Structure 1
């Protein structure tokens, strides 16, 4: 356990973030390895088939990830308030609400899978492969939920090291299974999907074993599962708010993916490659946001609003530092990175992907504000401004997909995200700088209050 209510905020955020950052970067690495194996051994069409479903996958999985993250923030606030009984009650509620939601989403997504794929304009030439791949991934949604719950609860009590170790084991297994299923067994894109699920299952098993041996303070007893309407409402308000925030972002990407899927296989492959790289560089922003949220959650529970405010500023400075690194890397290494992850020396794909990356990365300084402020406000229970900003992102992408992209092509897609980032940063800045509690110098120690708008 790591108490984030004592010590220098910058140091605590960095120590909290490093294992989380390494874990996320390692996850991106094995996703890139997965992509490279598909592109090199199965070819451009299979690469495009997997890429065409990425936004749908992100939308569904993103909601679950946001949901469990929100649940974890409620746990973090009670942990900061040193209320052990409430911590166990929130863990019990997390398990109950999480698995009910996962079951409903799994059933719904599989029933409506074909209409969803047609809605995002997946071409007939790649439809069968896309359906096979994403169908397997969505069927294993409960496995993803298990890992997300375990990781969110461990983060809530300040433990980010062990989830990193389990993720490394999972990543190595995933790459090995990819090579086995795709190269040795000839299972195609289905092999890549099964490799992902099996490796996630390994990670879940390790997390559960560790929590039963080292984090028994998180384990609820039967009495903690007694239904509490007020606690369930509080947790689902926070969790659904985070889940909605994550999924609205992904729905916006889903809308754009439908637009991109109409531009042809090479453009789909190009966008999939550039998104893989941009997601890798965006990962640290999400980590700093998660660190700010958990730091804010614990200190909010302890009534230390001065530390909450300082932590938010420090996380933003870290995000800006990474933005500078991202700009430098993409302006010097983009073509090399594109060829590396695709396993192809296709001039069209390389040039289009490079132009996307070089246009977007200078706006990462704005993106850093968006991600840190959005997560940080959720960490102290403020839901309205983060959700408004996510709706704004969705509306902006809908507008661009319907009006701009049909007229100027892929250039419209390329400029969409920087445009919405600027608007979102303005909305979140208003929410941050007008928040009365964040203006407090130091508040009294108190129990966490229900999440609010």
Structure 2
């Protein structure tokens, strides 16, 4: 393996190491967003407003599925990063073998559940009847090939676990461009409709997974198990499954809350659906640096936990927190100045009602981005420490908070309630995570060493 591709998160100066590791993740996340954003832009421009609303109405379900696969991959990567920090290479290969088996089982279960419950879920969410068939066509394609997303996220998680966030970037960049080309080919030339946007996404992610596998085989053999490593080890399987499911379930709970919230959005009509879709997509791009740095904190914490460097973990939390707060303040200012233009561009619309509501969502929610930034850092640090329950509690807070808003507040306040829901929930989650993190024994030990 080329050393240039791997960042030393245990011995190198913390700030340069975090930034070097986070930057490829940032670019990877950026092009990951391009998958769905390309679908939205091309569908909106070449098929029309109802088709855009159809894709937008499935956003929460899309995030639920992809979030679960990403969480499982990252969760299992946390365990492998811990072994890498301890330099236990035999355990690394055994853990990789186990992730392949567990990933195949979990992807099959998700596909089965998707086929059984997808259409009823769209109906339950109150998806308008005029766009329901197109919504189902799009999201059913994603669900039918969820194993592809599992494969890519598992391989990418393995590379990041050993400090290599650069390799997956190149593969994802190439496949994102393929996704855009396929979108244009399927929709504008072959006229295959909304479903083909989902097909383009799956084909592109499949390409990423294949390229990741061949890279690992050639450049990172430490991550390639042999037949002897495929053996039953109850403690290892339970550790991987527990950590993977904890992070996958955490992402799923967040997305289930978003699915419930989406039902309120859908009840407000197609214009609000389009406004919300555009605003959420802009928000996703704006928060990419926060997600990238916090994701780096997970691997950083896990490797240093394996290496028994609690003092570096505490310093890493401090540096990471300052980075994300700085970015959140910067992007809040940009959204206050340019949100109307961003919404109009993403929605491919000049409708003043759509632009006004999408812009209001961005301006109000961005005020609370500093709170969200700390939430992400603290939660990812706890995950890196191998905690399963404490980060999950924050997701339950988010889920129940969104349910309370949908039942009690949004019926009285309409779209304003939807805008305020997440910021208020972020505050509650952050308070719980601050308490949990700073009462953790490793953090207390690190603070004592530092002082």
**TM-score, normalised via structure 2 length:** 0.96
Contact 2:78 2:299 in 1 (8 A): yes
- State the Cα distance separating 1:30 from its structure 2 match: 4.6
Q: Which residue of 2 aligns with 1:192?
A: 197
Contact 1:33 1:341 in 2 (8 A): no
Which whole-Å CA distance do the structure 1 matches of 2:199 and 2:166 have between them?
Answer: 27
Contact 1:305 1:443 in 2 (8 A): no
Q: Which residue of 2 aligns with 1:33?
A: 38
Deviations 1:103-135 (A, max 9, x none): 011011112111111111111110000000000
Contact 2:324 2:370 in 1 (8 A): yes
Deviations 1:369-404 (A, max 9, x none): 111111111101122221111100000000001111
Which whole-Å CA distance do the structure 1 matches of 2:172 and 2:61 have between them?
Answer: 23
Contact 1:17 1:287 in 2 (8 A): yes
Which whole-Å CA distance do the structure 1 matches of 2:137 and 2:187 have between them?
Answer: 14
1:99 to 91, 96, 104: 104
Contact 1:3 1:80 in 2 (8 A): no
Which whole-Å CA distance do the structure 2 matches of 1:421 and 1:379 have between them?
Answer: 21
Deviations 1:179-214 (A, max 9, x none): 110000111111211111111111111111111110
Q: Give runs of aligned pairs for residues 275-354 of structure 1, distance below 5 A.
A: 275-354=280-359
2:75 to 70, 73, 79: 70
Contact 2:257 2:402 in 1 (8 A): yes
Q: Which residue of 2 aligns with 1:398?
A: 403
Q: Which residue of 1 aligns with 2:114?
A: 109
2:237 to 225, 232, 240: 232
Which whole-Å CA distance do the structure 2 matches of 1:392 and 1:402 have between them?
Answer: 15
- State the Cα distance separating 1:2 from its structure 2 match: 3.0
Structure 2 unaligned blocks of 5 or more: 1-5
2:180 to 172, 175, 179: 175
Which whole-Å CA distance do the structure 2 matches of 1:318 and 1:442 have between them?
Answer: 20
- State the Cα distance separating 1:154 from its structure 2 match: 0.2
Q: Give runs of aligned pairs for residues 183-262 of structure 1, distance below 5 A.
A: 183-262=188-267
Structure 1 unaligned blocks of 5 or more: 445-453
Which whole-Å CA distance do the structure 2 matches of 1:240 and 1:375 have between them?
Answer: 15
Local SS of the residue matching 1:263:
coil
Which whole-Å CA distance do the structure 2 matches of 1:357 and 1:140 have between them?
Answer: 33
Which whole-Å CA distance do the structure 2 matches of 1:171 and 1:310 have between them?
Answer: 35
Deviations 1:124-179 (A, max 9, x none): 11000000000001101000011001100000011111111111101110111111
Which whole-Å CA distance do the structure 1 matches of 2:252 and 2:288 have between them?
Answer: 17
Contact 1:304 1:443 in 2 (8 A): no
Q: Which residue of 2 aligns with 1:448?
A: none
Local SS of the residue matching 1:82:
coil
**TM-score, normalised via structure 1 length:** 0.96
- State the Cα distance separating 1:285 from its structure 2 match: 1.5
Contact 1:303 1:442 in 2 (8 A): no
Contact 2:114 2:143 in 1 (8 A): yes
Q: Which residue of 1 aligns with 2:3?
A: none
Q: Which residue of 2 aligns with 1:18?
A: 23
Contact 1:20 1:161 in 2 (8 A): yes
Which whole-Å CA distance do the structure 1 matches of 2:347 and 2:375 have between them?
Answer: 30
1:140 to 122, 142, 145: 145
Which whole-Å CA distance do the structure 1 matches of 2:344 and 2:40 have between them?
Answer: 12
Does the alignment pair 1:421 with 2:426? Answer: yes
Local SS of the residue matching 1:4:
coil
- State the Cα distance separating 1:433 from its structure 2 match: 1.1
Does the alignment pair 1:361 with 2:366? Answer: yes
Cα 1:241–1:30 change in 2 (3 A) is closer
Contact 1:17 1:291 in 2 (8 A): yes
Which whole-Å CA distance do the structure 2 matches of 1:113 and 1:421 have between them?
Answer: 29
Higher deviation after alignment, 422-431 or 344-353: 344-353
Does the alignment pair 1:127 with 2:155? Answer: no
When the two structures are aligned, how many residues end up with a matched partner? 444
Contact 2:304 2:313 in 1 (8 A): yes
Aligned-residue CA RMSD (Å): 1.3
Deviations 1:332-377 (A, max 9, x none): 1111111111222111111100000000001000000111111111
Local SS of the residue matching 2:126:
coil
Q: Which residue of 2 aligns with 1:45?
A: 50
Contact 2:35 2:201 in 1 (8 A): no
2:387 to 357, 365, 382: 382
Which whole-Å CA distance do the structure 2 matches of 1:373 and 1:382 have between them?
Answer: 12
- State the Cα distance separating 1:443 from its structure 2 match: 11
